[in-house]
Structure 1
Amino acid sequence: MPAALIPIFAAVLPAVGPISLAAGAGFGIATGTFAAASVLAYAATTAITVGLSLLLTPDKPKGDPQQLTVKQSLPARTRSYGRVKVSGAFAFIQTYAGNLYEIVIHGEGPWDAIEEWWLNDKNAAPVAGVVSTAPWTGFIRFESFLGTDSQPAASLLTGTFPAWTADHRLRGLAYSVVWLSAVAEDKFSKTYPNGSPSVRVVARTSQVYDPRTAATAFSENSALCIRDYLTHPRGFKISSALIDDASFIAFANICDQAVALAAGGTEPRYRVAFTYDMVTEPREILQQLLQSCDAELYPTPDGKVGIRGGEWTAPTVTIGPEHIRAFHYVQGNDGLSAFNRLKLTFTFRAADYQPFECDPWEDLASQAQVGVLQQDLTLTQVPSFTQARRLGKIFSHKSNPRHRLELQVDAKALDALGERIVHVTLPELEIDEDFFVEKFELQGDFSGGTMTLASLSSDAYAWTTAEEGTAPVAPESAAIDVTPPTPTGLALSISTVGGLRIFGSVDPLTGTAWSTAGRYRIVGATDWINMGHDGDWSFKSDYVDGATDYEVQAAHTGYGGINSGQVSAWTASSFISTS
């Protein structure tokens, strides 16, 4: 085996048995304009082959720590695969002319695209970088970068801070500059009800190389992400020449297989999407990637890294009594399962990309015999409950074999060397079944070896839509269900103080947290212009042209709590002339 590969297999070829794997807040503001803030710095050694089973991870707290904004002097960098929702670390916080400027580093790039920008729990939906979601409409702007080598410096900063030059490009980092406008002190708590809102983005992250097409592009294909991590300078950084691309091509095709869904349509068989700290042990990240697709790495005969698993492979080698010198029957009572209920956790995109439990995988026959024996399988790198259920089924079969054998075999059994599944016939134990090869150790003189085997059938990989269980339902936020009433009594007037402005007001509401927003446009124009607040039930335009006809509409909005950002239907237009 090439010396460069020894750390890979030492890291991912563990001993037999399941393996347990084992921030900050947004910038608070309490005054009418933003207080000044300082700049923060961002900154197979003992075995020939081992069948790598799915790895059991311990319980993790609900809530994704990658969605928190981190304020610390030297936070760890993060990197992502797949489509994720992340916040990041503050790299810069400064004020100018009462406005606040922030840099939030989302992760190491290059990324493929940022699809959504979120402020607190609201999709900010910026148009040309300007937020159009209440209560921040027009008061917050974004400028985001994907972490490419060619990205320019942020214009929001170079045009404001002389020390921030065109050379300040932050190449290799995906990040957002957030500009928060100063507002009058009496309007501050309504515009920024919780201070500076936390910033998160939904993004298609790392681009990965596909040996099938020789293209580098965004993909959630587990095989392609594993290959990327093996070769990446920030992963195992092995040469691509040591990757057995034929096996990765075959496995990538397995991951892309269409799996039918009970609700109709299909999804890819194996995907991965998660964010990791780059201070985490590389073997732990690799194990999570392998876990997403029931994969195992193995050394090929020509000394490369191969990948296999993910589907049933019928055995081509049979080991009979003529090859067995001795045997030890380790386990054989499937009524005494290691567990018979497997609690499953995945990342639910419909629930704000948070860890979420789906239906557990149950062995009802075993539960009837011995009661419920529960174990947890955390798959937060998996973005689909059906994928989590399929992996849970495979994991349960592998962890609860009917038979477990340790065989002393002669040299004729070395045909099984490198095999994943073998067939064993052992009349003394009435065994005539397929077995998963957990370990194969050679004797020093190559006269035989020791095999550790666990029975496994094709049933582990068989799947029907009836096995999906009940699709999980994301909890509904009260904010989604609460819509303010449409305003009544819209009245308009013109002020000439300092220039022409349109003022509007509506009938006040009592006992509510609602306020009012207005918008206007020249009669016949297409785009609306948002109006500024002038009190809970009134609003005003920017300076407008004289001798022009305008139309105005109003809506009620919420400022804080469960009603933050909610908007009523807009009123019918009222008209006013500045002639």
Structure 2
Amino acid sequence: MAIFSIISAYATAVLGPGALSLFGLSPAVTAAVVSVGRSVLWSMAGAALTKPNLPRQQVMATITQTDTPRVRAYGRNLLAGQRAFFEAADGQLYQIIVMHHGRVDGLIRFWWDGEPVVTLANGDVDPKYKRNYFRDGNGNGGDYSGIPTPNLQTLFQTLWTADHRLEGQATFLTVFGDPPDEDFGKKFPKGAYTQVQAEIRASRVANMAGAMIYSENSALCIRDLMTHVDGWNIALDRLDTSSWQAFVNRCGQAVPLAGGGTEMRYRLCGFYTLDDQLKDVTARMLATCDGQIYETAEGKIGILGGAWSEPDVTITADDILSIEMQDGFDPFTDYNVLKSQFVSPDHGYQPTSVAEWRDEDALVTQPERAEQFDVDMCPSHTQLQRLRKIKVAKDRRDMVGTIRTNLVGLKARFPKGDGIHTIRVQAEEFGIDGVFEVTSHLFSIPDGYCEIGIASIQNPYGWSVTEELPLPPTIDELGKPPRQVPPPTGASLTQIPVLLSGDTYGGKLRLTVAPVTRGDLTLQAQVGPGNVSANASVAWATMAGDRFSAETGILPNEEVYTVRYRWRGQGDWIKAGSVTIVANPNVPAAPTGFARVGSSGAQLTWTNPATNFFKSRLFRNSTNSFAGASFVADISGLAGQSSSYTDSPGTGPWHYWVVAMNGSAVVSPPAGPVSITL
């Protein structure tokens, strides 16, 4: 009885009948902390009733308003935030986003328009057009003097000065380039609505040894909220160390997964704003681990729940003064289907449904009555299913009620702290013999009674991989269709001669691709000088055309050009080919009347073809083989007229051939040979 005398004396002298306060805290703070824990532990409805003031969609978006509340987060989060700076200079747009109040552990990666991207060490996401830089909040979040671009204080001397420190704020800087109009849709498909986000490991928390670490352990995150200046701001020595250590260990236990491996038993990833009610934030965090904040016998703050606890207190009929009991649930009005969502990192940090719980026996004869159970700070579908199993057990109890006992009931005041708070009640005359969870406890020392709220419960904490229901496949598992449109196929590049006047021709290049049914795709083609790659830095000129074909203008004869193509604004450039322009591909007729003039010397004469003629070309060989003949000279002349040439090859036998050429250097069949000996 000594312990009860001490408790009774303390309660009566300090607080009055039926009230206890957490040691050193005001009754108001005590009531807020303890009542939050009860609301979550007993019905697990706290998470649904205490949504954050700032919706998740807004936390993940870029906000321009200056009065947006600051965000603080635990675990992995995808955040955008409040725009602190937005200015253009030197053809680039600079934007600083304040995403987190206080230091974060680090950056995981950036996301652009809902997709994770690779960011190089120099900040490049896409050379020239997309760059990102990150500050973790350890110091001045507005200091971007070390980035490989002009110092913001230099670039914007009056707009962004050294006074713009953003001290203790985690931020990121995005630099947008200005692509050509033809590439704008490819680089920024959402235009002015382009969204940039940072996936981060959020606030560091103190472990039980006092070291600041990154952890998703629910107990450590809740403990941080209890002691942080932007949380309850309770001195660490007012927390019951053994209780918190036990709960940290409980959260860290390995739970097997159906797909192999294990996961931490209770993890927490989520955010709150500094405008949120702390009791609501606490409730949402406790919902990730079936936890409850409570007062210990020494008046300190402990945490319990999350596991089964065999009762070490038994209340018998000898101690019970009165009892009121009723059914724990109504099978004809309460839900028989329980739907659930959590925020899934594997699904782009979007609310993601898990397979619903169904009371198949009841559904045989009853209509479906669904209820929603969401835990937005739970990052795992398996963890959510385990929490849901606990919720179902606590919502579907056989009996709930109140017993009034003598002061022996004070033994049920304080839990063991190794799990939920249970006692055993044995009262045969009331038909009761079983384990009950303690849901409330009041007492009056002067009147000599305790009033204890009880609810029957069977252990809902066991878990087998066979109970795990599958999660909808992730985008990667589904084989996400590529964002880029498949490139054009069936490309064909041809040269088109164009008769300008008389025998004067010009040359064009024409590209065609296979038609497609999609009405939003149009061929984009360009021509550039030389035999170059598709991405060469040359003077590319646009080719005019329709949806599936394009043509150049008239190009200089005998010059080399490269054509590249793609769907307009989509994908990378593809090389169609490099072509030497032949404006007139028509083969001229061979010269006629090719003969030697006289019987001495090497004077030769012939008649040029009447059309398609530009000049003649003479060849000779010491043997009678045109294939090995050497070039002698090009001879100007007129179409249909005679031409001649006198050669001086030296002594020996010689064989001559002559060809006609058009303006595109297309040659005729040879005339000859004319054989002479000098």
1:122–1:374 distance in 2 versus 1, CA, 3 Å: closer
Aligned to 2:428: 427
**Structure 1 residue 373, shift from structure 2 partner:** 2.7
Residue type of the alignment partner of 2:171: Y
Task: Return the alpha-carbon distance in structure 2 between the equivalents of residues 395 and 257 of structure 1.
Answer: 20
Residue type of the alignment partner of 1:161: F
Task: Return the alpha-carbon distance in structure 1 between the equivalents of residues 217 and 539 of structure 2.
Answer: 48
**Structure 1 residue 178, shift from structure 2 partner:** 1.1
Residue type of the alignment partner of 2:348: D
Aligned to 1:450: 451
Secondary structure of 1:206 counterpart: coil
Deviations 1:419-457 (A, max 9, x none): 310011121342211111000111242612111111111
Secondary structure of 1:398 counterpart: helix
**Structure 1 residue 298, shift from structure 2 partner:** 0.5
Q: Is the 8 A contact 1:435 1:455 kept in 2?
A: yes
TM-score (norm 2): 0.66
Aligned to 1:65: 58
Aligned to 1:300: 296
Q: Is the 8 A contact 1:333 1:402 kept in 2?
A: yes
Task: Return the alpha-carbon distance in structure 2 between the equivalents of residues 350 and 279 of structure 1.
Answer: 29
Deviations 1:59-94 (A, max 9, x none): 989973321211213211111111011111111111
Aligned to 2:111: 118
Residue type of the alignment partner of 2:139: D
Aligned to 1:470: 470
Aligned to 1:47: none
Deviations 1:119-161 (A, max 9, x none): 112323121244445xxx4312112101112667112523411
Secondary structure of 1:13 counterpart: helix
Given candidates 79, 82, 95, the residue that maps to 2:88 is 95
Aligned to 2:137: 147
Moved more, 109-118 or 51-60: 51-60
Given candidates 247, 252, 258, the residue that maps to 2:254 is 258
Q: Is the 8 A contact 1:402 1:455 kept in 2?
A: yes
1:482–1:154 distance in 2 versus 1, CA, 3 Å: closer
Aligned to 1:78: 71
**1:107 is the counterpart of 2:100:** yes
Q: Is the 8 A contact 2:492 2:513 kept in 1?
A: no
Moved more, 266-275 or 465-474: 465-474
Task: Return the alpha-carbon distance in structure 1 between the equivalents of residues 37 and 164 of structure 2.
Answer: 50
Aligned to 1:203: 200
Aligned to 1:437: 438
**Structure 1 residue 216, shift from structure 2 partner:** 0.7
Task: Return the alpha-carbon distance in structure 1 between the equivalents of residues 105 and 543 of structure 2.
Answer: 43
Aligned to 1:169: 165
1:372-387 pair list within 5 angstroms? 372-387=368-383
1:400-549 pair list within 5 angstroms? 400-419=396-415, 420-445=421-446, 447-458=448-459, 460-474=460-474, 479-480=481-482, 484-485=486-487, 513=521
**Structure 1 residue 399, shift from structure 2 partner:** 1.5
**1:234 is the counterpart of 2:255:** no
Secondary structure of 2:30 counterpart: helix
1:534–1:149 distance in 2 versus 1, CA, 3 Å: same
Deviations 1:364-386 (A, max 9, x none): 33444644332111111111111
Task: Return the alpha-carbon distance in structure 1 between the equivalents of residues 453 and 57 of structure 2.
Answer: 38
Task: Return the alpha-carbon distance in structure 2 between the equivalents of residues 103 and 208 of structure 1.
Answer: 26
**Structure 1 residue 510, shift from structure 2 partner:** 5.7
**Structure 1 residue 275, shift from structure 2 partner:** 1.9
Q: Is the 8 A contact 2:72 2:102 kept in 1?
A: yes
**1:13 is the counterpart of 2:34:** yes
Given candidates 349, 355, 358, the residue that maps to 1:353 is 349
1:271-420 pair list within 5 angstroms? 271-331=267-327, 335-336=331-332, 338-368=334-364, 370-419=366-415, 420=421
**Structure 1 residue 342, shift from structure 2 partner:** 1.5
Residue type of the alignment partner of 2:309: T
Task: Return the alpha-carbon distance in structure 1 between the equivalents of residues 285 and 36 of structure 2.
Answer: 19
Task: Return the alpha-carbon distance in structure 2 between the equivalents of residues 417 and 250 of structure 1.
Answer: 20
Q: Is the 8 A contact 1:340 1:372 kept in 2?
A: yes
Q: Is the 8 A contact 1:69 1:198 kept in 2?
A: yes
Moved more, 147-156 or 98-107: 147-156
**1:158 is the counterpart of 2:158:** no
1:59–1:8 distance in 2 versus 1, CA, 3 Å: closer
Residue type of the alignment partner of 2:168: G
Secondary structure of 2:384 counterpart: helix
Task: Return the alpha-carbon distance in structure 1 between the equivalents of residues 30 and 140 of structure 2.
Answer: 36
Q: Is the 8 A contact 1:124 1:131 kept in 2?
A: no
1:147–1:333 distance in 2 versus 1, CA, 3 Å: closer
Residue type of the alignment partner of 2:73: S
TM-score (norm 1): 0.77
Q: Is the 8 A contact 2:140 2:166 kept in 1?
A: no
Task: Return the alpha-carbon distance in structure 2 between the equivalents of residues 379 and 533 of structure 1.
Answer: 58
**Structure 1 residue 394, shift from structure 2 partner:** 0.4
Q: Is the 8 A contact 2:329 2:395 kept in 1?
A: no
1:221–1:573 distance in 2 versus 1, CA, 3 Å: farther
Secondary structure of 2:249 counterpart: helix
Task: Return the alpha-carbon distance in structure 1 between the equivalents of residues 488 and 114 of structure 2.
Answer: 23
Aligned to 2:581: none
Task: Return the alpha-carbon distance in structure 1 between the equivalents of residues 568 and 205 of structure 2.
Answer: 43
Q: Comparing both chains, which one has the higher relative contact order based on Cα–Cα distances under 8 Å and sequence gaps of 6 or more?
A: 1
Task: Return the alpha-carbon distance in structure 2 between the equivalents of residues 304 and 335 of structure 1.
Answer: 40
Identity %: 27
Q: Is the 8 A contact 1:289 1:381 kept in 2?
A: yes
Aligned to 2:188: 192
1:531–1:407 distance in 2 versus 1, CA, 3 Å: farther
Deviations 1:267-309 (A, max 9, x none): 1000111122221111111100001100001111222110011
CA RMSD for the aligned pairs? 3.7
Unaligned runs of 5+ in 2: 1-20, 146-150, 416-420, 494-509, 527-533, 545-561, 579-678
Q: Is the 8 A contact 1:342 1:374 kept in 2?
A: yes
Residue type of the alignment partner of 2:196: V
1:334–1:16 distance in 2 versus 1, CA, 3 Å: farther
**Structure 1 residue 116, shift from structure 2 partner:** 1.1
1:382–1:344 distance in 2 versus 1, CA, 3 Å: same
Moved more, 332-341 or 116-125: 332-341
Task: Return the alpha-carbon distance in structure 1 between the equivalents of residues 492 and 71 of structure 2.
Answer: 50
Q: Is the 8 A contact 2:339 2:356 kept in 1?
A: yes
Secondary structure of 1:57 counterpart: helix
**Structure 1 residue 117, shift from structure 2 partner:** 0.8
Residue type of the alignment partner of 1:445: P
Q: Is the 8 A contact 1:553 1:571 kept in 2?
A: yes
Moved more, 325-334 or 9-18: 9-18
Q: Is the 8 A contact 1:106 1:173 kept in 2?
A: yes
**1:4 is the counterpart of 2:25:** yes
Task: Return the alpha-carbon distance in structure 1 between the equivalents of residues 327 and 341 of structure 2.
Answer: 29
Q: How many residues align?
A: 498
Task: Return the alpha-carbon distance in structure 2 between the equivalents of residues 517 and 446 of structure 1.
Answer: 94
